[in-house]
Chains A and B, each alone.
Chain A
Amino acid sequence: MNDMKIVAAVAGPTGDRPRSDLKVTYQPGSEALSIDVSSKVDYLYGEAINAAVKRVVESFNVETGELVVNDGGAVEWVILARVETCLRRAGFDGEGVLPEAAPNAGAVTSRDRLRRSRLYVPGNQPKLMQSAGLYGADGIILDLEDSVPPAEKDGARILVRNALIAMDWGSSERMVRVNQGSAGIADLEEIGSHNPHVVLLPKIEAPAQVKQAADCLEVAGRGYEIFLMPILESPLGIHRAFEIAAAEPSIVALTLGLEDLSAELGAPRTEEGVESFLARQTTVYAARAAGVQPIASVYSDIADEEGLAAYIVRERGLGFDGIGCIHPRQIPIVHRELTPTEAQVERAIRIVAAAREAEKRGLGAVALGSKMVDPPVVKQAFRTVDLAVSGGVLAADWDEVEK
């Protein structure tokens, strides 16, 4: 086994038989490798689990020692990830065994896609990932940063890589929040070639940090364009908001993290948010100036639906296009509050119709009755119609119906 130092290792959550997850333990030894798999679902999936474990073991050329797998009903892509993590931690080197791709793993996205809601899911909790795609969030963020403890970063990275391949993302945009610094680079290298749509970059304070990530993704992503969303979380980041927002052409949105910012400011986060007003407004100005979407921070009290609704109205009023969600039940509220009212939609439709009519007739100016409509108002009307369609208050084929 050449000159690698092989050590005892463990992967997976603590606790004997974690639900929908598994614990993998490796003990080095000179005897031929023994594999001991026990599972609460062995009567249904025993053979499949053994086969999955063996594939990883073979890929990492593990020939001696003792491997113990205690499974609490994890699906295959989780099993593959946990075994790989354990073997890497033990000091083995090899190719990870990738799971079978989900039918929609090749989904594409676009720069101007709606990003009203984005659901944060911890990157080391597969049980929570299983259904993330069911909630209709505009985006799902598998988080490798704050929700993953330092000792689990490596395991989460492999899990998220497999989730990008095998998880059902539904109609949501595929997002990953990576770590800062070298851990972040390792994250980008691991996930880059598995079709992340948007990568969120935490605690950005300088354009160079964005550039580094973009360069790394260009290599890892094998030429696919991967969009970026820098997160401003410090006074310095806010100070350089525009430079950061305009740092790279792959940036599609700019957001901010109020918890960290409040800590750095020494001003506790309040419901009114007076302490962060400048930061929030600066983020919106910078994003708009750079032609990217301004996205607001999360609202952390999941039980307070009225508070969330008020928060969204306030942030929308500042110019934000979207909000972070930390629980699926926040998503419908976000969509509802960011969906235009009936009166707004009606007016927008009239403007859009007038604009099309004007274009058809080759007129430069759009008129509604006897009143001229300014170009920015026309642009806003198109956006309102888009939002109404995504928000489900206007049929996608509204203009067909009209004809």
Chain B
Amino acid sequence: MSSFERNAAGRLVPTEVNGRKSVPFAGVGGHRPTGRKAAPTIATCLDYPEDGDKRANSISEALKKVGLKDGMVISSHHHLRNGDLVANAVFDAAADMGVKDLMWFPSASFPVHANQLQHLESGVIHHIEGSMNGPLGAYCSEGKMRGLGVLRSHGGRWQAIQDGEVHIDVAVIAAPTADPFGNATGDRGPAGCGLLGFALADSIYADKVIIVTDNLVPFPCIPWQIQGNNVDVVVEVPSIGDPAKIVSGTTRVTQSPDRLRIAELAARFCADAGIMKPGFSFQAGAGGTTLAFALYLRDLMRSAGVTARFARGGSNQYMTAMLEEGLIDYILDGQTFDLEGVRSMHEDPRHINTSPFTSYNFHGKGNFASMVDVAVLGATEVDMNFNGNVVTHSDGRLLHGVGGWQNCLASKCAMLLVPSFRDRIPVIVDEVTTVCGPGELIDVVVTERGIAINPRRQDLLDAVAGSDLPIKPIEELKAELDRICGVPGKVEKTEDPVAVVKWVDGTIIDTVWRVG
């Protein structure tokens, strides 16, 4: 194994990951790659059918056509979430072909992808670079995966593709609607999922691109989100996903009194701190607490007569209702979380589909994330330095992907909405198990027991001085938890890395260790 180095977050990180030299986190804004962006191999239209019909009969045939070989990188997207049938089918087909040592590069994985365990075991998949949770997270956490897992943010995934850190050999894009030329969209079809933004980089930068659809329409598929000009092969299958599971359970507003309280405190904070002002912008995700936040914010906006210029999704029925009511001018949407979101994106020109390029990309000439006035996020742990963890459980086990979480920290006010403890496990801790977000970017922590403002944000402290919100130092919250839960023991880490967490610029911010 490679050697380790202590990075700017004070964490021990490997200097080499899966055979590539890696750069330790150098602090926020401390790393600036130079050179030219990566590019796919030069293609020639002469190699493609003049009639535009790129169809193959099966996923196997498509994989053969694009020349899948041992050791290649196959990417997939997660817009179909837990209803996705395609990523599994691709590796099942690869296994039948006898291909080995593939790297799977999904934009995220879901419980349905536990199917890949057999392929990790048999050697078809060498390792995964992407979020791992559930059974895959356990497999990786127990040190059973051959390579190191690499966890990247949505923006970081684009960055890695663009600066050549990851080269995709074959991108397989599940498309709810497509034509034989490869133009594809997510906003309609039986498995409609809204948009395909997470697959956009893959379609542009991969050497070979396969579209898999269950709703083939005659050319042209209008409008398209993925350009057929980047596509090699189109496969029609009976079904790409189970629509009932594409819309995940995360789009229900929480009924938990504690979480409702957290959401309400967060919304009131936005009002009292003056963040909620005419023309402001916000980002709220799909979790039950952040959904409730949007509802409380809506009520405060209504009574104050304030409208937002734009909201960044994960869109859902509540956000689209705000758009229709005129409380939001535009939704800039990264993924749709329910069928209402899909419908709205399809029908309402003010509901715009975006990609990690527009929203989060480190190698873009700016991006939307830093323009957002307030972003509300979850976390598994926050520490006394306001460092946040979103990928591991307090026992060190991989629990979630990074998603857009790190990217959203760039907003003018990044708020973590977290219960102070979960089943006796403190969320406010001395030191997070895994640093995913540096404390200097986490501005406010909202718990049911009070709101802690990062002392680095004197402006926010001043803005809410005199407010009747329960604002207290984070140390005070911690002391309260020590009394309620008891002082937790220290969890010993092993010395075997199983995964690394990348910062948005491609450096390594922390290591995930094998669980003991």
Contacts and interface: CB of A to CB of B under 8 A. Distances in A.
A41 B468 contact: no
A392 B423 contact: no
A159 to B, nearest CB: 16
A343 interface: no
Nearest to B488: A44
B488 A45 contact: yes
Contact of B424 (A45, A47, A131, A134): A45
A168 B449 CA distance: 11
A135 B261 contact: yes
Nearest to B485: A75
A74 B424 contact: yes
B475 to A, nearest CB: 16
Given A45-B486, A168-B484, A73 B422 contact: yes
A328 interface: yes
Contacts of A329: 257, 260
Contact of A73 (B423, B483, B491): B423
A327 interface: yes
A45 B484 CA distance: 13
Given A43-B489, A44-B491, A135-B261, A20 B448 contact: no
A262 interface: no
B423 A20 contact: yes
12 contacts: A40-B423, A41-B424, A43-B394, A44-B394, A44-B424, A44-B489, A45-B424, A75-B484, A102-B483, A131-B258, A134-B449, A168-B484
A132 to B, nearest CB: 9
Given A168-B484, A327-B257, A328-B257, 8 more contacts: A19-B423, A41-B425, A44-B424, A73-B424, A76-B486, A131-B448, A134-B448, A328-B260
A64 interface: no
Chain A: interface size category: 20 to 34
B496 to A, nearest CB: 17
Given A47-B489, A131-B257, A73 B425 contact: yes
Contacts of A103: 483
Interface of A: 19-20, 40-41, 43-48, 72-76, 102-103, 130-131, 134-135, 168, 327-329, 392
A72 B488 CA distance: 15
Contacts of A74: 424
A392 B468 contact: yes
Contacts of A392: 468
Contacts of A45: 424, 485-486, 488-489
A40 B394 CA distance: 11
B324 interface: no
Contacts of A75: 424, 484-486
A183 to B, nearest CB: 28
Interface string B475-503: 00000000111101101000000000000
B395 interface: yes
A40 B261 CA distance: 26
Specify the main secondary structure of chain B where it touches its partner.
Answer: loop
A126 to B, nearest CB: 11
Nearest to A74: B424
Nearest first, the 6 A-B pairs at minimum CB distance are: A73-B423, A73-B424, A44-B488, A328-B257, A20-B423, A131-B258
Contacts of A48: 486
Contacts of A131: 257-258, 261, 448-449
A75 B420 CA distance: 14
B425 A328 contact: no
Interface string B419-459: 00011110000000000000000000000110000000000
Nearest to B423: A73
Contacts of B489: 43-47
B516 to A, nearest CB: 9
Nearest to B516: A43
A58 B299 CA distance: 55
B261 A134 contact: yes
A73 B395 CA distance: 14
Give the one of A43, A73, A134 with max B CB within 10 A: A43
Contacts of A19: 423
Contacts of B261: 131, 134-135, 328
Nearest to B419: A131
Contacts of A134: 258, 261, 448-449
A41 B422 CA distance: 10
Contacts of B422: 73
Nearest to A73: B423
A131 B258 CA distance: 7
Nearest to B424: A73
A260 to B, nearest CB: 26
A240 to B, nearest CB: 37
- Residue picked from A19, A72, A131, most chain B C-beta under 10 Å: A131
A72 B423 CA distance: 7
A331 to B, nearest CB: 10
Contacts of B394: 43-44
Contacts of B488: 44-45
A46 B486 CA distance: 11
A327 B260 CA distance: 11
Nearest to A303: B255
Contacts of A47: 489
Contacts of A43: 394-395, 489, 491
Interface in B110-161: none
B394 to A, nearest CB: 7
B283 to A, nearest CB: 25
Contacts of A76: 486
Which of A41, A72, A73, A329 counts the most chain B CB atoms within 10 A? A41
Contacts of A102: 483
A44 B425 contact: yes
The residue among A44, A72, A327, A328 with the most chain B CB atoms within 10 A of its own CB is A44
Contacts of B448: 131, 134
B268 to A, nearest CB: 12
Nearest to A39: B424
Interface string B172-205: 0000000000000000000000000000000000
Nearest to B489: A44
B288 to A, nearest CB: 15
A329 B256 CA distance: 10
Contacts of B483: 102-103
Contacts of A327: 257
Nearest to B486: A48
B263 to A, nearest CB: 11
